Amino acid sequence: MNERTISDADQGVPRTATPPPQDNYGATCADAGTGSTVPLSNRRSVAARDVYQVVHLIGKGGMGSVSLAQDVRLRRWVALKRLSEQYAHDSRLLARFHTEAQSVAALSHFHIVQVYAMDEDDEGPYIAMEYVAGPGKVAREGWPGNLPPPPMDLEDMVKTQGVLKVAEAAKLGIKLCSAVGYAHKRGVIHRDIKPANILLNEEGEPKLADFGLARQVNAQHEGMTMAGAQLLTLGYGAPEQETDASRVDERADLYALGATLWFAITGQNPRFFRESEVPGPLRPILSKALEKDREKRFQSAAEFEQALSKLDPRARFVPQATAIDGLLPGCCPKCGHQHDLGDKASAKRKFCESCGTALLEPCLKCGAENGVWAKFCGPCGADLNTTLNAEIERLQAERDRFEVCHKSYQFEEAIEILTPMAAVKHPRLKVFHDWAAEFLPRVRAEFEAAQQQRDEALQKAQSLATMCEYRDVFPVLENVPKPLWTPTMEKLHRVSRELYTRASQLRKEVADQIAAKDYDTLKAKVLELLKINPNDAEVQKLLQQLEKREERLREASWQAVRKHPTVRNCQEYIANYPAGPHVSQVQALLAPLLRDSLVDRPRDATVRQQYVAIRTPQLQKLDEKLARQGCQIVDAIGGALAGAVLGALVGGVGGWIGGILGGVIAGVALGIVLENKA
C-alpha cells in the first residue's frame, strides 16, 4: 500500500532481516517456497478483462500486483489482485490466495475489506475486492486526478501525519477489535494483522485487509501450514508464530492488534516495545495484549475491546447492539453520571445533564419510553432486555440474509431488507441503522448500474440474433447475473442456444455426408441450415453446388427415360424430380405403358390408380369410347338371350330364332339410346 513498500518490492530492497514475498496490499508469506504446480489449462473460468477494466497499477511486489479496476457490469471500483507469474503455479501460494478470498467471502463487516469475486484466466488467478479509497487529502505522485483517491494504510498515515493520541488509538482499537472478533466468531483467524494491512477510507475509518495467511478454524486443509512453519511479519507476529504457526489460535491476532496499536501511538516497530514508553491509560492494556504467554493475554477480542472502551467514555463506540445490564436507576450509560431520581427535575430529564446522552429508550413492544436502566416496561410489562435481544437476533438474521441476496445479485430483495433496517430508531440498535443507511444508497446505485448493463446486453443480444449470430448471443446474456434476467432474456437465450446447437449438429451431419458422398438427404439439411441463418455464404454456396448436381442428375435421368421409356425409368424420374421440367413429358410416356399393363392385368388396382392419375385427355376419351362400345355389346348379348328365351317359350324353334334377332336389335337400339343420353 505505501510508496516505500511498492518501490522497495520493485527494487528488491528488504524491509525485514529475512524478506518474504509481499504484495502491495501488505500480504506476507514467509515460507512461500516452490511447491507443486497446478495447471491452469484444466480450469474453465471467466477472464478478468471481460468483467474488469484495469485503469491504474496501485502497486507491485514480489508476490503479485494490485490494480485499480472498474467492474464493467456494476460500474464500481474494485482492487484487482493477482499473483505474479512466477508464483501462479505454486500450489501452496495458490492455496493461500484462494484462502484469502474464501475467508473474507464468508465475512461481512464494515471494518473488513469485502471480496467480490475470485477466478482464474490465462494470466493466472485473481481476486476482485472492495477498493478502499484513502482520505481525499492524500496525494500520491503519478496518481491520475480523475480517479478515486489513492489508498492509504495505517503505516503510511503514521509516517506522514504523525502518531495517534490515546483516545484516537482507543477508537481505532475498538473498531478493529469489532472486526477481528466478528471474524473469530466465524472461525477465521487472520494471522497477519499489522499497520500495512489496515486500510483507511476517505472518512478515516479502518478496514482490515489481506487475509492471505488466514486460517479457518474448522477447515479441512490444515496441511497448508506445516508443523513448524513460521508465518509472521517480524514485530507483529505472536511468539508462538515464531515456533509453530500451525498451532496459533485467536489470541495471536490479539497480540498483533496490540502491536499495531503500539506502532500507532509511537511510530516504532513492536520489536522495540517498552512498557515504560506506553502512555499511562494504555499501558496495562497493551502490556496484557503483548504478553508472550498467550494464557496471560486477553482471551477474546470482546475482552480487549471492553478494556479499550473504558479509556475515554466520550469515545463510546457500539460495535454491536447489546442490552445494558446492571445499570443503577438514574445512571448514565455513557459517562456514568448518577442522576437523583428523587429530584423532580432530575427525574424528568430525558438527557444526561453531564454528557447529553439519552436516558430514555422506547420499548420495542409497545413503544413507551423507559429509563435505560429499567428491566421491564412500565406500561406493558415487557422484559426490555429480552425483547431487545430478540430484535438484535432478528436484525442480525436479516443482515445475514442481505449478504446472501447482495452477493447473488438479488438487489430488489436486498433493498427490501435494508430499507426498514435503515429506519430503526432505537439507540441501542444504531449499529444496524448506520450499517443499513450506509449500504442502502450503494446497493441502489449498484442495482441501477446492473439494470442498465442488463438492458444494454439485451439490446446487443437482440441485434446479434437479428444478424443470426446465435453463437454470440448467449455469452452476452450470460454476462448479466441470472437473477436480473427478464422473461425476454430467458426466451432469447433459450432459442439462441437451441438454434446454435441445431446448426452445429446440422453442420457436422452435412460434413459427414459430404465425406461419405451421401447426397440423398443433404439438400434438406442445407435448406434447414439456411432457414436458421439465411446469410451464411458458405451454406448458400453449398446449396448452389447441390442444385447444379441435381440438375445434372435430372437431365441424365430424362435422357435415360427418352432412350428407354420403361415404366420403372419413368416412375423413378417422377419420384426423384416431382417438380422437374420434364415431368409432364415423362407422364405422357408413362401413361400408355401403364395402359398396356392394365390390358394384361385388368384387376391390378394400383396400376389402374397410377394410370388414371396421369393419363392424357386423349387417352381418357379413347377409354370412354371403348367403355361405351363394350356396353353396347353387352346390351346386345343380353337382349339376344332375353329374346331367345321368350321366343322359345312362345313359338318353339322358330320363335327362338326370331327372339334372338329381336333381342339383338332391341339391345343395340338400347345401347344407342344410352350412348346418346351420355
Residues known to be catalytic: 192
Q: DSSP letters along 448-507, please?
A: HHHHHHHHHHHHHHHHHHHTT-HHHHHHHHHTS-GGG--HHHHHHHHHHHHHHHHHHHHH
Strand extents, DSSP E, 146-263: 188-189, 198-200, 206-208, 215-216
Q: What gap in Å lies between CA 595 and CA 599, rounded to an integer?
A: 7
Q: What gap in Å lies between CA 577 and CA 573, rounded to an integer?
A: 6
The residue among 339, 357, 356 whose CA lies nearest residue 348 is 339
φ and ψ at 117, to 5 degrees?
-160, 155
**Rounded (5°) CA angle 506-511-514:** 125
The residue among 666, 669, 626, 620 whose CA lies nearest residue 646 is 666
Q: What gap in Å lies between CA 118 and CA 97, rounded to an integer?
A: 9
Q: What gap in Å lies between CA 168 and CA 419, rounded to an integer?
A: 32
The answer for residues whose C-beta is within 8 angstroms of residue 452's C-beta and 6 or more apart is none
Burial class (CB in 10 A: 0-12, 13-18, 19+), 618: exposed
φ and ψ at 483, to 5 degrees?
-60, -15
Q: What gap in Å lies between CA 246 and CA 227, rounded to an integer?
A: 6
- Cβ neighbours, 10 Å, residue 289: 24
Q: Cell numbers for 14, please give them.
A: 528488504
75 to 47, 78, 228, 294: CA distances (angstroms): 17, 9, 45, 46
76 to 123, 147, 196, 330, 403: CA distances (angstroms): 22, 12, 24, 49, 18
Report yes or no: 416 and 303 within 8 Å, Cβ to Cβ.
no
- Cβ neighbours, 10 Å, residue 677: 6
**What are the residues facing 216 on neighbouring strands?**
188
Report yes or no: 127 and 78 within 8 Å, Cβ to Cβ.
no
Report yes or no: 373 and 324 within 8 Å, Cβ to Cβ.
yes
Instruction: Please tell me whether residue 265 adopts helix, strand or coil conformation.
Output: helix
Alpha-carbon dihedral sign for residues 661, 667, 670, 675: negative
Strand extents, DSSP E, 213-339: 215-216
Q: What gap in Å lies between CA 363 and CA 385, rounded to an integer?
A: 10
**Residue 124, H or E segment:** strand 124-130
The answer for residues whose C-beta is within 8 angstroms of residue 592's C-beta and 6 or more apart is 619
Q: Cell numbers for 210, please give them.
A: 489481506
Q: Which ranges of 235-340 does DSSP label H, i.e. alpha helix?
A: 239-243, 250-266, 283-289, 301-309
562 to 568, 570, 584, 586, 613: CA distances (angstroms): 13, 9, 13, 8, 21
Report yes or no: 248 and 223 within 8 Å, Cβ to Cβ.
no
